[in-house]
Amino acid sequence: MAQSKPDAQRRSRSGDAAAAKQKQLESFSQAPENMLTTTQGVVVPDNHGSLRAGSRGPTLLEDFLLREKLTQFDHERIPERVVNARGAAAHGYFELYKSMSQFTRADFLQEAGLRTPVFVRFSGFSGERGSADTVRDLRGFAVKFYTREGNYDLVGASAPVFFIQDAIKFPDLVHALKPEPHHGMPQASSAHDTFWDFVSLMPETMHALMWLMSDRALPRSLRMMEGFGVHSFRFINAHGASHFVKFHWKPKLGRHALAWDEAQKLAGRDPDFLRRDLWEAIARGHFPEWELGVQLVEEAKADALGIDLLDPTKLVPEELVPVQAVGRLVLNRNPDNFFAECEQVAFNPAHLVPGIDFSNDPLLQGRLFSYLDAQVGRLGGPNFHELPINRSLCPFHNLQRDGSHRTGVPKGQVSYEPNTLGTGSEFRVDGGHEGFQSHPQTVESGKVRRRSVSFDDHFTQATLFWNSQSPAEKDHIVCAFQLELTRVETPAIRQRVVDNLAHVDARLARKVGEPLGLMPDAKAAAGRAGFRERRDKLAVEASPSLSMDNNGSSSLATRRVAVLVAAGVEIGALKIIQQALAEHQVICKVVATHLGVVSTSSGQQLQVDACFLTASSVLFDAVLVPGGAAHAQALAANGRAVNFVLEAYRHCKPICVIGESVELLRAVGIDANTASAEGVLIAKGDPAGRVPLAQDFIAAMSRHRHWTRSRLEAVPA
Ligand code: HDD
């Protein structure tokens, strides 16, 4: 995808916008001080003792210093978001590659090279604010663009489809997914009765369920996660012509997943794994990047697609309508304060700018009500737009007034329109063509509480998704269904899910049913209320872009390699491999039994970065074990080192062992000469083999995980 050359002048104007947002935020920021005052500015003389009647007497009510401090503390928490409660965010910019003026008059999409400041929040859909990052979930991907014509929010997700077709079912979906109301369990998990009870009775959920049970729900990093606007929106150009548009965020580092077992272990080892990864990458200067892509469909050609663009449980295969890259998103600054920015940021799909409009998608239409309503409750009133993170960069003027926590001080006598008293001359907003214009779509129909029959096909795209997965990805989907359903206690619910799956793919249903002792019954599913017979004919039978194995990038940048060492390690080959990895921006960490240093075979001191007590294999993407007889012997005799390698093997990670360290593989029962050792590299200690070895290791790492490794069940990790 070629990038248009931005001209210098526009670049500097763009730079100004990012700087302007930062300046705006900084005007509210507070640096640490070596002095304490009350919130009224009175100096606090002593922050260790409350005021009391005598040193052993009761505390006095008049102690306003104590009361103010405790009151503020008692109210530190605000209600968490009802969904997408756990999130992490960063600042950055969006840079346009090419003008989109042919399709939209949106100001930030006009001039190639223009940079618009953004704030992006990633979130888990199901878990509470303190839940673990790596749970199986479809994640939120919300982008606030501070454009010159006001804030535009693209409040999307890590899947291009949603569970339900109509917003009226959203509270039911969320109630079914969240911890069950009688005992408040389980946390951040769909593996329980109420969720599967609901979805098994609502076949429209089937396509999104396939995404949820797939590797898409276990991203290795937020920086390696695709994003989607989900709904069809409209681009409106200066002449009022409308195109349907679907938005895509394509990560520059490609799309990669964790192994399911790895994700579960990570939830204990480091519940902040994804947010830490994002924070550290930005802090290190490895700025995460995505391309914004659009699929455009002329309104007049929409019907010919054979996919109802208003149905949020359907995607448009990229093979039918290509995704064109229009710009890039770069996240280059961590927030200064988690609460002020990540918690108080308020997204809303109704935050639109001229040139972009809604479609009639009934899920989107409901969202247009829900977000503002949610923010008013969560942020304590209607004035959350005045919070620094939510402020638009361009000035806003209106006659809305008052309410809790108002900070602006509007001057003058006038808070109505039309008027003549405001500025001394007549002021009247007369419906001119400036500003936001709704697309004048003709709507003529009786009122109905009924979905379009074109929404009735609930299975064709679930089958498309299944057909598009690699064999390993299919195995993972089968395992995920099996695991979730074994946690479901009500047999009839398990049976309903397996019956429904028979309408996606007969083999999938059979495989899922096997360990549950269930045979799929497609007829039973078809006989249930809510089931629709309709199956549309799609112009493609598989869509390769839906597979993560077809991941879109072979970059190794920021992947983490654990180098296991013990005293007597031979570092000649290690140095060469480390250098080759560094050229690919791979991060190597030396792991040993203790912190400090380890003596090498040549008597040098090797600095240790982490020890086995905290550095588990799940925190790394690959393992490298250098040679050296004493070192190899010590590692092979160390249970933690052995477990480290076993676990990495089980999670299908590249493993490279040199010279005598092959002992370690033997100790864990890995036979390097079989197909079960794909991605396991062994080298003799001699110098001639080192450079090709480095290249092989890099090639193995670019595959990310070797999912095809067989006999994993035999691994006791
Ligand atoms: Fe939603 C939050 C994404 C359907 C109602 N949603 C929320 C967030 C994201 C999404 C990313 C977190 C924003 C942030 O980081 O602060 N939601 C989606 C997507 C949907 C979707 C991609 C389907 C395509 N949502 C949806 C429906 C409704 C809501 C149908 C209600 C009718 N969503 C909310 C909410 C939240 C929210 C209750 C929780 C707190 C908040 O908004 O600020 O209003």
Alpha helices (H) along 40-99:
64-74
Pair (159, 190) in one structural domain: yes
Q: What is the DSSP string of 589-633?
A: EEEESSSEEEEBTTS-EEEE-EETTT--GGG-SEEEE---HHHHH
- Domain assignment present for 594: yes
Nearest atom within ligand 1 for CA of residue 231 = 24
* Pick from 521, 489, 528, 483: nearest CA to 502: 521
The CATH number of the domain holding residue 474 is: 1.20.1370.20
CA distances from 261 to 191, 257, 378, 420, 707 (A): 15, 12, 35, 69, 13
| pLDDT over 50 (residue 1) | no
106, containing H or E segment: none
As given in the structure block, the two tokens for residue 655 are 């493993």
Tokens 């899920």 -> residue: 363
The CATH number of the domain holding residue 588 is: 3.40.50.880
Question: Could you report the per-residue pLDDT of 632-665, keeping only the tens digit for each?
Answer: 999 999 999 999 999 999 999 999 999 999 988 8
Pair (357, 252) in one structural domain: yes
Identify whether the C-beta of residue 209 lies closer than 8 Å to the C-beta of residue 467.
no
Pair (475, 335) in one structural domain: no
| Final residue belonging to a domain, choices 360, 390, 420 | 390
Pair (179, 258) in one structural domain: yes
Identify whether the C-beta of residue 322 lies closer than 8 Å to the C-beta of residue 374.
no
Nearest CA to ligand 1 atom 28: 367
**How far, in Å, is the centroid of ligand 1 from the Cα of 84?**
7
Nearest CA to ligand 1 atom 34: 371
| Final residue belonging to a domain, choices 365, 390, 415 | 390
pLDDT at site 444:
84
- Domain assignment present for 322: yes
Nearest CA to ligand 1 atom 15: 121
Give the Cα separation of 430 and 323 in Å (integer).
39
Query: What's the mean pLDDT in 141-168?
Result: 98
* Pick from 679, 667, 685: nearest CA to 708: 679
Identify whether the C-beta of residue 556 lies closer than 8 Å to the C-beta of residue 701.
yes
**Whole-model pTM?**
0.96
Total number of domains in the chain: 3
**How far, in Å, is the centroid of ligand 1 from the Cα of 254?**
26
pLDDT at site 6:
40
Nearest atom within ligand 1 for CA of residue 345 = 16
Specify the length of the chain in residues.
717
- Domain assignment present for 682: yes
Residue 669: which pLDDT band, with cuts at 50, 70 and 90? confident
pLDDT at site 10:
43
- How do strand 242-251 and strand 289-298 relate by DSSP bridges? antiparallel
Nearest CA to ligand 1 atom 22: 156
pLDDT at site 666:
85
Question: Could you report the per-residue pLDDT of 250-290, keeping only the tens digit for each?
Answer: 999 999 999 999 999 999 999 999 999 999 999 999 999 99
Pair (239, 116) in one structural domain: yes
Pair (653, 521) in one structural domain: no
Most informative mutation of 125, 212, 310, 367 for ligand 1 (most atoms within 8 A of CB): 367
Structure-derived torsion over alpha carbons of residues 365, 367, 369, 375, reported in degrees to the nearest 10 = -160
* Pick from 90, 56, 195: nearest CA to 138: 195
| pLDDT over 50 (residue 308) | yes
Q: What is the DSSP string of 448-470?
A: -----GGG---SHHHHHHHHTS-
What does the mean pLDDT of the chain come to?
A: 94
Percent of the chain at pLDDT > 70 equals 95
Give the Cα separation of 644 and 621 in Å (integer).
12
- Domain assignment present for 26: no
- Domain assignment present for 552: no
- Domain assignment present for 577: yes
Show the ligand 1 pocket: residues with CB < 6 angstroms. Answer: 81-84, 87, 121, 123, 140, 142, 155-157, 162, 167, 170, 230-231, 312, 345, 347, 363, 366-367, 370-371, 374-375
Pair (312, 251) in one structural domain: yes
Peptide bond into 471 cis (omega under 30): no
Query: What's the mean pLDDT in 704-713?
Result: 78
Residue type, 279: W
Question: Could you report the per-residue pLDDT of 331-381, keeping only the tens digit for each?
Answer: 999 999 999 999 999 999 999 999 999 999 999 999 999 999 999 999 999
DSSP 340: I
The counts of H helices and E strands in the chain are 18, 18
Pair (571, 500) in one structural domain: no
Q: Which domain holds residue 475?
A: 459-546
Three-state DSSP class for 710? coil
Give the Cα separation of 234 and 243 in Å (integer).
6
Structure-derived torsion over alpha carbons of residues 265, 269, 270, 274, reported in degrees to the nearest 10 = -30
Largest CA distance in the chain: 91
Question: Could you report the per-residue pLDDT of 256-265, keeping only the tens digit for each?
Answer: 999 999 999 9
Pair (501, 570) in one structural domain: no
pLDDT at site 691:
67
| Final residue belonging to a domain, choices 355, 390, 425 | 390
| pLDDT over 70 (residue 60) | yes
Pair (148, 190) in one structural domain: yes
The CATH number of the domain holding residue 215 is: 2.40.180.10
Pair (222, 355) in one structural domain: yes
Q: What is the DSSP string of 386-404?
A: GSGGG--SS---------T
Residue 289: other Cβ atoms inside 10 A: 18
* Pick from 513, 504, 502: nearest CA to 478: 513
- Domain assignment present for 505: yes
- Domain assignment present for 446: no
DSSP 219: B
Give the Cα separation of 442 and 436 in Å (integer).
18
Question: Could you report the per-residue pLDDT of 681-702, keeping only the tens digit for each?
Answer: 988 766 666 667 899 999 999 9
Question: Could you report the per-residue pLDDT of 558-572, keeping only the tens digit for each?
Answer: 999 999 999 999 999
**How far, in Å, is the centroid of ligand 1 from the Cα of 143?**
12
Pair (122, 247) in one structural domain: yes
